Structure 1
Amino acid sequence: MAPASRIADLRQAGNEQFRNGQYSQAATLYGRALELLEAAGDKNAEEKSVLYSNRAACYLKDGNCSLCIKDCSAALDLVPFGIKPLLRRAAAYEALERYQLAYVDYKTVLQIDCTVQAAHDGVNRMTKALLEKDGLQWRQKLPPIPSVPASAQRRWEPPPPGSQEASRSKAKDIAPVSKQAAATERANALKQEGNEFVKKGNYKKAIEKYTESLKLHKLECATYTNRALCYLNLKQYKEAIQDCSEALQIDPKSVKAFYRRAQAYKELKDYKSSKADINSLLRIEPENSAAKKLLQDLNKILK
């Protein structure tokens, strides 16, 4: 049997074992396929990357997080910015309580494809864990998050009209797109309801509406800054900081996010962080009078 055919058979057998819950056997089969690829001098990086990623999934299921991380890293060295190995490595880091590295991997996935719910959920869990572990300065302790090139980012593009792919996908694509549009519309309606409660001074009810909205549309900067305003009024400063930080991940030049986070830091007596945020804001809007006033107050305190 030719090596290529044997490798394909081993991979298929590994897939079957994995589906049957036989993770150790599946890992062994993927390992044999990798050995054959090496022996044959095969330079197919994509094939190797998939096999490493598949074996990593087996290790993750069996709780062998260190080997999972090793294989995911090998897969990503061969084919950078693969979503599956990034998610599997993030899960392994999370299981080992290496929350900073897990956060970086989850955030990298969202740069590639912002619709991956598992990555959104992972970022939320890691944010809470890191806030508890490292306090308000947790973001400053993060390793750098890789910048994903545009060529590796996934954007939904419909197939050309009249193509076979368009014909095949027409029936199944219409529903997901309309569902997404409906979810976005509902998210906007909930945000508006939240805004109305803010006008009435009912901040708790507004938070409920904003939270429901964010479940449907997580990449809405204004909803985070609006909810942060509510947290500020309720003296829940840590929550306000977290929401402003999320907003700044979406829009790094959000003036409201910088200002409200600065206010929250000031209330928590973290004056240096507050001043850093105001300085960032003033680089974006040098004539912002509210920011200038807050900066004057902070300078008096720091003296």
Structure 2
Amino acid sequence: MAPKPPDSVEGLRAAGNQCFRNGQYAEASALYGRALRALQARGSSDPEEESVLYSNRAACHLKDGNCSDCIKDCTSALALVPFGIKPLLRRASAYEALEKYSLAYVDYKTVLQIDENVMSAVEGVNRMTRALMDSLGPEWRLKLPSIPLVPVSAQKRWNSLPSENTRETAKSRSKENTTVKNRVPSAGDMERARVLKEEGNELVKKGNHKKAIEKYSESLLFSNLESTTYSNRALCHLVLKQYKEAVKDCTEALKLDGKNVKAFYRRAQAYKALKDYKSSFADISCLLQIEPRNVPAQKLRQEVNQNLN
């Protein structure tokens, strides 16, 4: 294969990628700038290529702590190709560094609409949630800019180097929100968690299960040591027919409290809906060992038994 001419768009971009890998961010930025000018001088439109070059140059600015130019380049990249994951993540990081937490939150949330497994976005949302609650109080959601709705047609766009993100999704599937799980909650965190859980309970009473899930999720950001918060959120998932999520939450609840009757019952209901009758029967049996006279559980056991037979 013929080598790329050094002053071609492709040659300049490849040289920029190599400089970035070597930690020469200023040199890489200059090469991406030259590539952009060469591309624009061609006169023919290539929005994908132009967007990648802006996004790559933004990565250089971010590494050098030049957050304002990083934001400008990411915005240019996104104007050319909307909903690119890398420019959204880079712009979110720059906004976060500038303490523009609302804007960072919006970008991180947008990324999670495109791919919910991007761990840096999950962790970013968690950090921004805590920062926004600290600065704006419990009504912080009402003060956010609107989050754009990502169309289904928007595909994952893992632009080429430079980035550490290409390995990110693979890693993220094996670890789930380690920052929250490893954090020891303070007394203040525990109190916030309690208040948010109570707000979730009130929303359940009003039948607003989607909003209740948000409150329970926020509560778990501050403290994930409360078994009932998980089992309460599982109830909301059940009502919304999100059975796999209900199973996950009940499992977390039972890790914290092996005698959480509601968690056993709700997980049994979820397994039944998923037609996993053996697991459902096992959970009801565990429940009835704790509460032998639990009438709803006895009734559910009969229903599951019929399905098993």
State TM-score, norm by structure 2. Answer: 0.54
Distance 2:97 2:20 in 1: 21
Distance 2:72 2:198 in 1: 34
CA contact (8 A) 1:66 1:92 kept: yes
1:181-220 deviation per Cα after TM superposition (whole angstroms, max 9, x unaligned): xx69xx9xxxxxxxxxxxxxxxxxxxxxxx98x859xxxx
Please list, as runs of the form range in 1=range in 2, the aligned pairs for 1:177-256 lying within 5 A after superposition.
236-238=191-193, 240-241=195-196, 254=209
Query: In the alignment, what sits opposite 1:31?
Result: 33
State the one-letter code of the partner of 1:101.
Answer: L
Please list, as runs of the form range in 1=range in 2, the aligned pairs for 1:34-53 lying within 5 A after superposition.
34-53=36-55
Distance 1:242 1:128 in 2: 15
CA contact (8 A) 1:112 1:148 kept: yes
Query: In the alignment, what sits opposite 1:161?
Result: none
Higher RCO (CA < 8 A, seq sep 6+): 2
Distance 1:94 1:25 in 2: 25
- Which of the pair is proportionally richer in helix? 1
- Post-superposition shift, 1:152? 1.0
Structure 2 unaligned blocks of 5 or more: 157-169, 220-235, 241-309
Query: In the alignment, what sits opposite 1:58?
Result: 60
Shift in CA distance, 117/93, structure 1 to aligned 2, threshold 3 Å: same
Distance 1:152 1:40 in 2: 28
Query: In the alignment, what sits opposite 1:105?
Result: 107
- Post-superposition shift, 1:260? 7.2
Query: In the alignment, what sits opposite 1:83?
Result: 85
Query: In the alignment, what sits opposite 1:132?
Result: 134
1:44-84 deviation per Cα after TM superposition (whole angstroms, max 9, x unaligned): 00000000000000000000000000000000000000000
**RMSD (Å), alpha carbons:** 4.1
Query: In the alignment, what sits opposite 1:163?
Result: none
1:92-139 deviation per Cα after TM superposition (whole angstroms, max 9, x unaligned): 000000000000000000000000000000000000101111111111
Distance 1:130 1:11 in 2: 38
State TM-score, norm by structure 1. Answer: 0.55
Identity across the alignment (%): 56
Structure 1 unaligned blocks of 5 or more: 155-175, 188-210, 217-230, 265-280, 286-303
Query: In the alignment, what sits opposite 2:296?
Result: none
Aligned residue-pair number: 196
Shift in CA distance, 71/40, structure 1 to aligned 2, threshold 3 Å: same
Distance 1:104 1:56 in 2: 18
- Post-superposition shift, 1:256? 8.1
Distance 2:148 2:70 in 1: 20
Q: Secondary structure at the match of 1:236?
A: helix
- Post-superposition shift, 1:236? 2.1
- Post-superposition shift, 1:237? 4.0
Distance 2:25 2:198 in 1: 40
